[in-house]
Amino acid sequence: MDIGNIVSFIIVMGCLLVAMTVHEFMHAYVGYKLGDTTARDEGRISLNPIRHMDLFTTVLLPAFTWVFLHVLILAAKPVPFNPNRVRYGDMGAALIAFAGPLSNLVLAVLTSLLMHGVDAYSFTGELLALFRQLNIALFVFNMIPIPPLDGSRVLYAFAPQPIREFMERIEPYGFFIVIALVMLGGLGGIVGNINQSLLQLMP
């Protein structure tokens, strides 16, 4: 990578780490408020990014995909929870799942409001625009109802039994399904359109 690519990688990774940390913190915090101390006991109610990083999915995977595929693919270490200790059953699990993406949407809205007082063509303005765009993308992507993405847990709370059983069958392969869809462009059009629509709705 040349210097420009290295700088771009660092900036994008920095933005994603902030957004990811808030996302995972909210999963852990809502789980704790709903009666499950699993995430708290593992130190995940934290705004320290290191607490939420995984060597492979948060460090090695994004470096590999940036260099060889020219895209940035990464994931945080999953926040653990014990469904038997969460209040409200499947609905409680859905609330824990939704808390992460919702935090990214809130960050996008707050960043959009902050941008009104900043020159759009300054470094700060462009950095804020990038941060807003990435948070919108994280919200939309994580709400895709494919395990292990958060949207699957939200859907699971409302889905009829046949769909639940199907989701349970594909869950062991879900990560690879998501990566394959991203690399093959199978999600690009739909996700891109939703991203753009939400961006236009920003205050």
Confidence class of residue 95 from pLDDT cuts 50, 70 and 90?
very high
Of 2, 40, 19, the closest CA to residue 142 belongs to 19
Provide the token pair at 52.
């939420």
Q: Which one of the listed residues 24, 42, 168, 171 is annotated catalytic? A: 24
| Contact status, residue 132 vs residue 111, Cβ threshold 8 Å | yes
In 3D space, the residue among 75, 115, 117, 142 whose CA is nearest the CA of residue 199 turns out to be 115
Mean pLDDT of the chain: 92
Asked whether the beta carbons of 46 and 53 are under 8 A apart, the reply is no
Q: Which of left, alpha, beta for 88 (phi over 0: left; psi -120 to 50: alpha)?
A: left
Task: Please give the pLDDT value at position 188.
Answer: 66
**What Rg value do the Cα atoms of the chain yield, rounded?**
17
pLDDT in tens, 127-172: 999 999 999 999 999 999 999 999 999 999 999 999 999 999 999 9
Q: How confident is the model at residue 10 (pLDDT cuts 50, 70, 90)?
A: very high
Q: Residues 13-18: contacts with CB within 8 Å, 24+ apart? A: 13/62, 13/72, 13/74, 15/127, 15/130, 15/131, 15/134, 16/62, 16/72, 16/74, 16/134, 16/138, 17/49, 17/53, 18/49, 18/131
pLDDT, tens digit (0-9, with 9 covering 90-100), for 162-180: 999 999 999 998 888 888 8
**pTM (two decimals):** 0.93
CB–CB of 178/146 below 8 Å?
A: yes
Is 171 tagged catalytic?
Answer: no
Number of residues in the chain: 203
Task: Estimate to the nearest angstrom the gap between the alpha carbon of 31 and the chain centroid.
Answer: 17
Task: State phi, psi for 4 to the nearest 5 degrees.
Answer: -60, -40
